[in-house]
């Protein structure tokens, strides 16, 4: 049985009329009344943002098609607020003239030091939030009082199969139910009133290293979800399920399988033969990749679902498709019929992708006036640094311009729609410095569109990467392990030189981009990459969490700062705004993770982890956050006693096995392993091979690592710690020993 906790509605007796009305309606529902009960749809007497519904989370096709109607405008009913995914709210009680009066209304500790990436939902005065391992909690949106909590009990070992930690970017709601895409592949429907499980279905078998971190989407009675795992070697797909029963409706594979096996019997069959012609070799033995781990958008006008697809598996094209080819549908937008899942069109951003250029970043649809004509468009700013405007009915490229420095392609050829690659774009065995990179010009952090300014706002970053590919004879792929084909161990002197240059070039900023003119309007600089998602409102405001651990509001028309508050952690998630009883609130999850940044070791005093929290603000809010725990000195690492050959082997094994969770070059990640406690060093083999911390998310690796290999990884980590300790300790460290121990307790 899954765990849930239910809190009594009677606790709200002293609260607002809104809470009393909600309690009364829930009582009616328990007695068998429905939406047709007298007065069930009457507007709240206090002028609430939503009409009182007979059941919580009563999201329907009608409400989603009328999200700006008076009874709906104060809710946040889906991941991007509406199906257009624009993350714009017409609420303007909070505006650029009074935003300096914002304060904390309430908060909740989420009891984790991991990154929390979810966008909450607010429907009829109830806020629904998702934390790590897909734990969902419902709150009174005005007071923060908990109503219930549901824990799907995802096994903690799944943390090592998720690229950026065991987080989720969101849940969805439909006709009284909430839908969870669990990390372990279950699609779960729960009752929005009680948190009780209604049904569950498996979206994939656990015999392959798939995972789910993206938000579920619901439209017209269908729940759609993709998955991750391309780094580990899987064949990506997206599937739709009946929102009432969980029955699979259709499935679309993103890359072809083994042609000898014939058709899959799925919606993608009609186009897989064409896609297979763009591949070479035996790609299916290594998965192929293409996983749609985040952005999926529904277009109700055209009845299309747009899928943003991911990187190849393995990354280096020579190893997955020798002889080249476009490798469809990697790094593409693919449009399919919403009812049948059948292919309609595609546009590929990076043919023959080999840089880990996923095109799963946020997409949004809009109608734009371009050259005197209203165009129905879909827009995306993926990892590769180009901002794309595409006709969403046909897939025709309308425009594309780079929004960051770009060394892999000079421009997009408007006749062919293909990038014009630079002579040095393709990977060789000689290390080279490139940007954009696998670290992304823009990653999963949500962007926003403001119809009054006509601008898109996104968290942009300039992160350089040292690329090289392994010699073919040294590429030995292993199942359930990262098989990128990237080289991290040869030419170390050159790599160190280039990495130092990359660290100096790192930048991050809130970018305002004009999608019609395809040019920058303004930017708000941050000292490092890693700032969070963006919310735009009719109050001429932008809200964003910054890597400086502030949550801030800026003018949407010019980027001027109008308010900020220290929040002790980085709000990487997408903020939302909503209204209850005529009062506007802004909510955001804060919790660092899923955003690799090399320059954090430059922060004066070090980068300090803090408990993840859900924060909610309003005008005149006077709640206070408790102070962070006291710091202590950075623990000194053990002496390195292993020979260089063992350290080099450990570097290779770490890159293949550990880097997705613990950072490239052992820097950062969900826990920085350079600065383990003495106890962790002493228990290293037990932790890695015997699973002594499985319940904390660190499962045993004895199925893919020998004891000698684990010892080599340990030696590499000790070497890295000794390389960096003196500089980090002199600056106060990246985190204190107490933080380190606390984080170990959370694993």
Q: Closest Cα partner for 513 from 441, 574, 571, 570?
A: 441
Whether 332 and 347 have beta carbons less than 8 Å apart is answered as yes
- Residues linked to residue 335 through DSSP beta bridges, in sequence order: 306, 345
Distance CA 461, CA 581 (A): 39
Distance CA 247, CA 242 (A): 5
Which DSSP category does 211 fall into?
A: B
Whether 363 and 380 have beta carbons less than 8 Å apart is answered as yes
**Kind of pairing, strands 534-537 and 88-89?**
parallel
Whether 326 and 354 have beta carbons less than 8 Å apart is answered as no
> Is the peptide bond prior to 477 cis by the omega test (within 30 degrees of 0)?
no
Alpha carbons within 13 angstroms on the beta-carbon side of residue 373 total 6
Q: Closest Cα partner for 308 from 231, 185, 375, 224?
A: 224
Query: Taking the alpha carbons of 672, 675, 680, 686 in that order, is the dihedral positive or negative?
Result: positive
Whether 715 and 651 have beta carbons less than 8 Å apart is answered as no
**Kind of pairing, strands 363-370 and 373-380?**
antiparallel
Whether 94 and 573 have beta carbons less than 8 Å apart is answered as no
Whether 484 and 468 have beta carbons less than 8 Å apart is answered as no
- Residue carrying the six token digits 């909430």: 178
Under DSSP, is residue 741 helix (H, G, I), strand (E, B) or coil? Answer: helix
The active-site residue, picked from 124, 326, 356, 672, is 356
Alpha carbon separation from 163 to 91, 314, 740 (Å, rounded):
36, 14, 21
The edge-to-edge listing of strands for the beta sheet with 397-402 is 363-370, 373-380, 386-391, 397-402
Q: What is the CA radius of gyration of the chain?
A: 25
| H/E stretch holding 449 | strand 448-450
Whether 514 and 521 have beta carbons less than 8 Å apart is answered as yes
Distance CA 139, CA 143 (A): 8
- Residue carrying the six token digits 């005197």: 372
- 430: tokens are 């000689």
Give catalytic status of residue 356 as yes or no: yes
Whether 200 and 180 have beta carbons less than 8 Å apart is answered as no
Q: What is the 3-state secondary structure (H, E, C) of 580-638?
A: ECCEEEEEEEECCCCCCCHHHHHCCCCCCCCCCEEEEEEECCCECCCCCCCCCCCCCCC
- Residues linked to residue 466 through DSSP beta bridges, in sequence order: 433
Whether 176 and 216 have beta carbons less than 8 Å apart is answered as no
Query: CB under 8 Å to 14, separation ≥6 — which residues?
Result: none
Distance CA 560, CA 668 (A): 32
Whether 361 and 387 have beta carbons less than 8 Å apart is answered as no
Q: Closest Cα partner for 146 from 108, 187, 173?
A: 108
Which DSSP category does 639 fall into?
A: P
- Residue carrying the six token digits 């065991």: 166
Whether 136 and 180 have beta carbons less than 8 Å apart is answered as yes
Query: Which residues form the catalytic set?
Result: 356
């Amino acid at each position: 049985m899954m765990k849930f906790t239910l809190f009594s509605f009677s606790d709200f007796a002293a609260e607002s009329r809104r809470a009393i009305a909600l309690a009364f309606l829930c009582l009616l529902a328990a007695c068998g009344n429905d939406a047709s009960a007298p007065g069930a749809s009457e507007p709240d007497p206090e002028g609430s943002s939503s009409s009182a519904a007979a059941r919580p989370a009563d999201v329907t096709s009608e409400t989603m098609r009328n999200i700006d109607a008076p009874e709906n405008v104060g809710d946040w009913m889906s991941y991007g607020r509406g199906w257009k995914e624009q993350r714009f709210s017409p609420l303007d009680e909070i505006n650029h003239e009074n935003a300096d009066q914002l304060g904390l209304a309430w908060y909740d500790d989420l009891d984790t030091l991991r990154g929390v990436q979810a966008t909450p939902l607010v429907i009829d005065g109830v806020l629904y939030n998702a934390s790590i391992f897909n734990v969902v909690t419902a709150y009174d949106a005005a007071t923060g009082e908990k109503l219930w909590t549901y824990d799907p009990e995802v096994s903690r070992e799944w943390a090592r199969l998720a690229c950026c930690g065991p987080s989720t970017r969101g849940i969805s709601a439909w006709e009284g139910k909430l839908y969870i895409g669990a990390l372990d592949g279950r699609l779960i429907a729960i009752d929005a009133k009680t948190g009780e499980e209604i049904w569950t279905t498996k979206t994939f078998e656990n015999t392959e290293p798939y995972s789910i971190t993206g938000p579920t989407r619901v439209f017209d009675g269908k729940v759609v979800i993709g998955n991750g795992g391309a780094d580990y070697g899987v064949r990506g797909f997206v599937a739709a399920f009946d929102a009432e029963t969980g029955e699979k409706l259709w499935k679309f594979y993103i890359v072809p399988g083994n042609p000898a096996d014939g058709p899959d019997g799925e919606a993608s069959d009609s186009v897989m033969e064409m896609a297979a012609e763009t591949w070479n070799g035996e790609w299916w033995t290594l998965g192929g990749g293409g996983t749609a781990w985040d952005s999926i958008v529904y277009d109700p006008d055209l009845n299309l679902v747009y899928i943003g697809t991911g990187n190849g598996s393995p990354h280096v094209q020579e190893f997955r498709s020798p002889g080249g080819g476009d490798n469809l549908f990697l790094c593409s937008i693919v449009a399919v019929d919403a009812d049948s899942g059948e292919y309609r069109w595609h546009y590929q951003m990076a043919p023959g992708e080999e840089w880990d250029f996923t095109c799963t970043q946020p997409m949004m649809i809009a109608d734009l006036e371009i050259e005197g004509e209203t165009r129905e468009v879909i827009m995306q700013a993926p990892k590769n640094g180009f901002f794309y405007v595409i006709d969403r009915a046909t897939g025709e490229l309308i425009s594309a311009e780079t929004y960051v420095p770009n060394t892999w392609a000079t421009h997009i050829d408007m006749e062919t729609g293909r990038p014009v690659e630079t002579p040095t774009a393709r990977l060789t065995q000689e290390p080279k410095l490139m940007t954009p990179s696998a670290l992304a010009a823009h990653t999963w952090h949500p962007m926003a569109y403001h119809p009054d300014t006509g601008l898109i706002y996104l968290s942009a970053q300039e992160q350089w990467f040292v690329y090289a590919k392994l010699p073919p004879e040294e590429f030995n792929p292993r199942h359930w392990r990262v098989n990128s084909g990237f080289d991290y161990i040869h030419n170390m002197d050159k790599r160190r030189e280039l990495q130092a240059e990359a660290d100096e070039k790192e930048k991050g900023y809130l970018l305002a981009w004009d999608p019609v003119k395809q040019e920058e309007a303004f930017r708000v600089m941050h000292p490092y990459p890693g700032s969070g998602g963006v919310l735009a409102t009719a109050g001429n405001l932008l809200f964003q969490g910054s890597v400086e651990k502030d949550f801030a509001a800026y003018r949407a028309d010019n980027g001027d700062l109008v308010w900020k508050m220290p929040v002790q952690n980085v709000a990487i998630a997408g903020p939302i705004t909503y209204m209850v009883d005529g009062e506007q609130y802004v909510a955001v999850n804060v919790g660092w993770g899923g955003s690799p940044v090399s320059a954090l070791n430059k922060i004066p005093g070090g980068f300090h982890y803090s408990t993840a929290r859900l924060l909610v603000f309003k005008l005149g809010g006077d709640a206070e956050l408790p102070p962070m725990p006291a710091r202590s000195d950075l623990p000194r690492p053990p002496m390195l006693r292993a020979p260089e050959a063992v350290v080099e082997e450990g570097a290779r094994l770490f890159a293949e096995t550990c880097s997705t969770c613990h950072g490239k070059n052992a820097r950062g990640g969900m826990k920085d392993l350079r600065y383990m406690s003495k106890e962790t060093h002493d228990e290293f083999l037990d932790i890695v091979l015997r699973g002594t911390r499985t319940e904390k998310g660190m499962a045993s690796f004895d199925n893919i690592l020998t004891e000698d290999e684990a010892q080599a990884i340990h030696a590499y980590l000790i070497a890295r710690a000794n390389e960096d300790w003196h500089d980090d300790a002199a600056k106060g460290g990246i985190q204190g020993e107490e933080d380190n121990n606390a984080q170990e307790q959370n694993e």
